Amino acid sequence: MNYNNKLFRSIANSENGETSTETVFEYKQKGTILTSNYSGGQIICGHLIGLVDGDGNIEMSYHQINKRGEIMTGNCKSSPEIMPSGKIRLHESWQWTSGDKSKGKSVLEEI
């Protein structure tokens, strides 16, 4: 699976997360290396870097600056689902490595 030049929007997130339906991710992929710049909603600026396996699963780390002026960091594992439209839905399990170090789940959809 190749995520290069795909845009994703957050459609669901745990209460302790910062992404929202206003958050848009722009994915770039070279080989197995995935990167993304993202922003929107509570996030002023965010970046992620990860590795994509042969099944399209992603293991990533991220950092972002929120509207409170805080730097937040975390790790995430993401699994793809191909929807009937052919678009990709990503099911994510994540954990903050900053702040309260809590865990959460989110869903992104390709736009």
Q: What is the pLDDT of residue 84?
A: 97
- What mean pLDDT do residues 49-54 have? 98
Q: What is the DSSP annotation of the chain?
A: ---TT-EEEEEEE-TT----TT-EEEEEEETTEEEEEEEETTEEEEEEEEEE-TTS-EEEEEEEEETTS-EEEEEEEEEEEE-TTS-EEEEEEEEESSTT--EEEEEEEE-
- The pTM for the full model equals 0.93
Per-residue pLDDT for 11 more than 90? yes
